[in-house]
Copies of this chain bind each other. A is one copy, B any other.
Amino acid sequence: MSLIVQKFGGTSVATSEKIKNVANAIIKEKNNGNDVVVVVSAMGHTTDNLIKLSKEITSSPCAREMDMLLATGEQVSMSLLAMALIDMGYNAVSLTGYQAGIKTQKNHMCARIIDIDTTRINKHILNNEIVIVAGFQGICEGNEITTLGRGGSDTTAVALACALNAQRCDIYSDVEGVYTTDPRIVKTAQKLKTISYDEMLELARVGANVLHPRCVESAKQNKMPMRVRSSFKLDDMGTLIIGVDEMELNKPVTGAAVDNSQIRIVICDIVDEPGNAAKLFNLLSSSDLSVDMIIQSYARHSKNTNDIAFTISKSDYPKFDALKGKITELLKADGIFIDDDIAKVSIVGAGMIDRPGIAAKMFDTLAKENINIKMISTSEIKISCLVEKKYCNSALVALCKAFELDGADVAQVKGDLPDVD
């Protein structure tokens, strides 16, 4: 008998009706002869409402107490789901992070799972019970309740699947799978049957909000097959995420995405001395500021200065703002220029590694649309260009056409894959 881990997001369990629907999805998997371990998020807007409540008390809530507060959200949804399954005639038991043996680091609100003691879960599985585990939470040294931060429930699901040697980890939500690009912008976007971990990671980083990179990384390390699928279309198999060596790469580019959440910062006329870039990025990282694209211009010999441009997340701007004075002083810079009229368009594909000319084709496509490129960054399987915000949708449409992302599926499964029902 094989074990499937299923994870249901907040929209999938938003009402009692939807919880019953989720119970049906679980029963379907159980009736296929599988053991099932389920991970749930909090119902709908529960977490947002709890955060709002805490803000009414204080503008800076204690992190330990915030975890205590937020952990209740999953406890509510999991107990209701267990009631629904029991009512439908199945054995089910819900477990808090603590009861499920999910041990984390001590840092509240963004803890990482360090170990899962599966003793209790395995006991329930042997007892033919459907085990429902609270996502997003764990317990650290001293029996303190912790939460895992953004994407936490997905991370719980993948970590459990790995610890329990599951056959597969299915992430159910309100999207039907991973698309070549954002279907809200490109109507003809195609759902991918398969995508590699690395492509999924790059897509997640460039703006596709399907999965948090943390859980994809964890699945990749453990070679745990994942499936992104809809809890409202149970017959749809969604998208399978697997290792690149298990896929046949027919096309160089698998997906394209737009990210509107960044701003560009240019530090002008930095005196050209060795170590200035290191000083800058050490300072930024010590304030927990993640930098994405970076360009350093050539030193202007006449002035012996250069510029450094980089992008950060808009939500991190207050952190940066607090550092501005220190930066100008430290780098003897002439000024700081902020540009929020930008968008990042990216193409991603494991197939681009062995095929030259992909970058040239991307730049050419944008040029033909009269779109100016402000910055470029690349990885082995990704090329990103910064453009003016007003062009982001037309850029995406043009790139999807050029790289055939609006047609048939891009990558086909090769060889034997894990059972998919």
Contacts and interface: CB of A to CB of B under 8 A. Distances in A.
15 contacts: A50-B76, A53-B76, A54-B79, A58-B86, A60-B87, A61-B87, A62-B82, A65-B83, A66-B83, A68-B75, A68-B94, A68-B96, A72-B76, A75-B75, A96-B145
A331 interface: no
A139 to B, nearest CB: 10
A360 interface: no
A398 interface: no
A54 to B, nearest CB: 6
Interface string A60-89: 111011101101100110111011101100
Contacts of A87: 57-58, 60-61
Contacts of A96: 68, 145
A321 interface: no
Contact of A83 (B61, B98, B99, B145): B61
A65 B79 contact: yes
A264 B82 CA distance: 40
Interface residues of A, number: 36
A249 interface: no
Given A62-B83, A68-B96, 13 more contacts: A16-B53, A16-B56, A57-B84, A58-B84, A62-B86, A66-B79, A68-B78, A68-B79, A68-B82, A69-B76, A69-B80, A71-B75, A72-B72
B50 A65 contact: no
B65 A94 contact: yes
Residue with the highest number of chain B CB atoms closer than 10 Å, among A61, A79, A80, A84: A79
Contacts of A72: 72, 75-76
A143 interface: yes
